[in-house]
Structure formats: structure tokens, C-alpha cells
Amino acid sequence: MEPPEVDEAALALPKAKDVLQLRQFPVVYRASAKVQQRGMMDGVYFEQTMGRMMLICPLEKTDTELDEDNFKVEMSCWKIVVSKRVAGCDSKLFDQETCGDIHRDLSWWKVDRADAAGINARCLVIHLAKVRHSLWAGPWYPGGLNPHKKLHFPWTELQGPKDILKGLKIDVEALKNIEPGEPEDWNHEISAAMTPEQLCTGIDIRESEGLLQVVIHLDDGALEGATGRVPLEELFAADISEDELSVFLRGDGFQICTGRFTQKVVPEMSAWQIRSVRRKNLPEDCAVKSPAFFNPALRITLTKAKMCVGKWDEIFQDFQHCPFGYPRDRLDWSDRVNRCMVLLPGSPSNKVGKAKRAQALVTRVEGKQDLLLNRVVLLFHLEDKLAWLCESQRVNMHDLFTFLVPCSHQGI
């Protein structure tokens, strides 16, 4: 008797095309917004998502033989300067201010052949990482009133002398030479240095006749700190197949949630976006006092397969998620502004600069242990100017810091 034939196709692993990998947030249009996902401005072609922008600068016919060694690209968090060197002579191609702030250390460039918008030639291609999750009207800042150009004068005693403000100037405001090529260890570069427990405060699962929605609620303060290091678009990732969903932190790989559907969905028709949502079902033990509590959320919308349209008895066969922190009320606007002025008096709205300054507040850490009392003592040495800055803005220094100690439940 011959053995039955084995269906190798049924045993094969699912192909990559069977899994939709969500990595970029598409452009969300508003009815009155005069913006576009791609276009041309001042001879530079651009394409953008909510977290990144690609600039394509066609080279002149006389420059088509030049390579990356003949170009110099300098960036700050708000400015780009491109120069060309030929026969020992430097000439500036353009000196522009970006429409919004950028992550300089996560932006890169190359010289390559591009085929976009009818351009089929060697081009200088620049990839910019946006600081804020938003849509730009174009690559360049309109007009001459860029906030980064503001000069600060000590009109009152609380504003501090000019030498102190100058000493607090951060590196990201200055131009830095950017070497060509994409970063090799990209996952290490986009690490947010946070766990899902710090970022996520809960999950809501909803359905209609034809759609499923998975809403992951996020902590506003933790998200603000994480996006000071990496763009929000580089923070999350989702893999969707017809019967499974997996959401995780992109750089670190930490799992946020994973589950297997009871029926089928259409992966290719899935979408996601970051929205501010009103959260009605709050945990019982949380300390939120606001009668209308809003928080940012990652909303994933899935389309049910044709044969599965209608209400499902159960959405997931099995569903697992990380532990969640409690939602918190957002600080008053005046308190947030005062703390920003302590961190960065010269540019309180510069998110990247505040993240850099926050790391610089602690100059040294010492640790010692007491074996008799079975305890560890950590001593954090703070910047000398911090006490004066807190006093000038009437901010309690204790309110600037929080200390989180992960607890291990093993052996308890």
C-alpha cells in the first residue's frame, strides 16, 4: 500500500506576502489642509510620511560623475546645508531651514539614481526623521520668523544672565557634518529605551459588522519622552496575517500584544494611525480626576473577510498583552511650561533638545551597598545650575524626577 501523498503547500511556512508589516504611518489629510504627500519645491522633489521625509535633489549634467566624497551635508535640528567640492573649490548648493524639527542623528543621505516624479538621473537623496508626528506643508520653513532664530534677553531677574543661557545651549542646535550612508545598526539607533509597560496603559477591542478595531492606549508623558529620542513612526510595528495580529516596539522588539482571531481578516486592507481618543472605561484603581480624559492611542483597523462579515461571538481565540501602567492626568499647561523652561530656557519647545538636556542634568552616579541593612544607596550628582533654574521658574526640584524600579515576581 502506497503512503498517502503529502500536500507540501499546506505544510509550507506562510510566505512574506501573506503577512502585512505595518511600519509607516500614511499621510492623513484634513479638509482644509494645504499639504501634500509628495511634490516639488525650489527644485527639490519630496515624499513624506507622518514620521519621515525624503528629499531628492537632481544633479546637474556636469555633476553626474561626482560621488559622495564630493558632497558635504551638514544638519542641525532645524537646518540643512549642502556643499559641493570640485577641484578643491567649495560651492554651496543650498542652505535651508526645515519646516519642522528633525532628529539629526537619525537622518542620513546618499548619492544614487532616483526614479520618482519623472526624475531618472543621479540625485542627492536626503532622508529626514521628523521630531513631531505630523504632516509638513513642504520641506522648507516659510518666511523668516523661525522660532530657532529668536534671541533671548534677560528683561527680568527670573530670566537669568546671558552667560548662563549661553552655557545651556545644546549641541543639536549647531550644524554637524553628516557622513553618507544609512546607519548600519538601525535597530540600535531607534531604541526608545522604554518598555511597553511604561508606554501602554490599556487596550480596547471593538467590532462592527465589517471591521475590527484594536485601540492601544498610550501614556502621554512616556510617549513625549520616547519621541524625544526616536520618531513616533519608528516606535511601533505591527504584523498582520489573515488569522493573527502582533504589535511590538520596533527597535527593541518588546511585545505589546499578540492574538489569534477566531475568524479571518484581510491583511491588505488594514490601517493604523495615532489619534487622541477619549477613554471612558478607566481602571478602578487609577487616580484620574478629569471628567473627560483623553490620551494618545495607537488605533489599528482591520477588515473582516467576506465570508466572516457580521458580529463574531469571540474576536480572539487567545490574546496576550504586556502588563499595563495606570493612566495619569496630564500636568497643567503652566506647570509643563515652567518645567520646560528649567530644562531648556532658550528653546523650551525643542523636544530633542529637552531630551538631551534631561540626560545632562545628572553628571555622575555613585552607588554603595550596606550588607548589614541589606540595601543599596544610589547618589545622583546634579548639574550646578539646576537649583538656580528651578528657583527662577518656581519649580520644586523633586517634581522634575521620577524613579522607577522594575519588580521581579520570581520567588515571591
CA nearest 41: which of 133, 121, 138, 115?
138
CB neighbour list of residue 97: distance below 8 Å, 6 or more residues apart: 78, 79, 140, 141, 146, 148
Retrieve residue 15's grid coordinates.
510566505
pLDDT of residue 412: 34
* 164 sits in which H/E element: helix 162-167
Rounded CA separation 278/297 (Å): 9
Rounded CA separation 254/323 (Å): 12
Q: What is the mean pLDDT of each run of 10 residues along the chain (412 residues)?
A: 45 56 80 71 90 91 83 94 85 92 92 74 91 91 86 65 64 90 72 86 94 95 88 93 94 90 95 92 84 92 95 94 90 87 81 84 89 86 86 85 62 36
Do the beta carbons of residue 331 and residue 399 sit within 8 Å? Answer: no
Q: Residue 398 half-sphere exposure, CB side, CA atoms within 13 Å?
A: 0
Retrieve residue 17's grid coordinates.
506576502
How many CB atoms are located within 10 Å of the residue 307 CB? 8
Rounded CA separation 282/411 (Å): 31
pLDDT of residue 14: 41
Rounded CA separation 273/215 (Å): 10
Q: Are strands 200-207 and 20-22 parallel, antiparallel or unpaired?
A: unpaired
CB neighbour list of residue 375: distance below 8 Å, 6 or more residues apart: 369
Rounded CA separation 228/132 (Å): 9
In degrees rounded to 5, what are phi and psi of residue 53? Answer: -140, 135
Retrieve residue 147's grid coordinates.
522660532
pLDDT of residue 345: 79
Q: Are strands 44-48 and 71-75 parallel, antiparallel or unpaired?
A: unpaired
H runs (alpha helix) in 285-350: 333-343
Retrieve residue 140's grid coordinates.
522648507
* 79 sits in which H/E element: strand 79-86
CA nearest 179: which of 126, 255, 101?
126
Retrieve residue 127's grid coordinates.
532622508
- List, in order of start, the domains of the chain with CATH numbers: 38-182 (2.60.40.790), 196-281+289-321 (2.60.40.790), 351-400 (no CATH)
pTM, to two decimals: 0.82
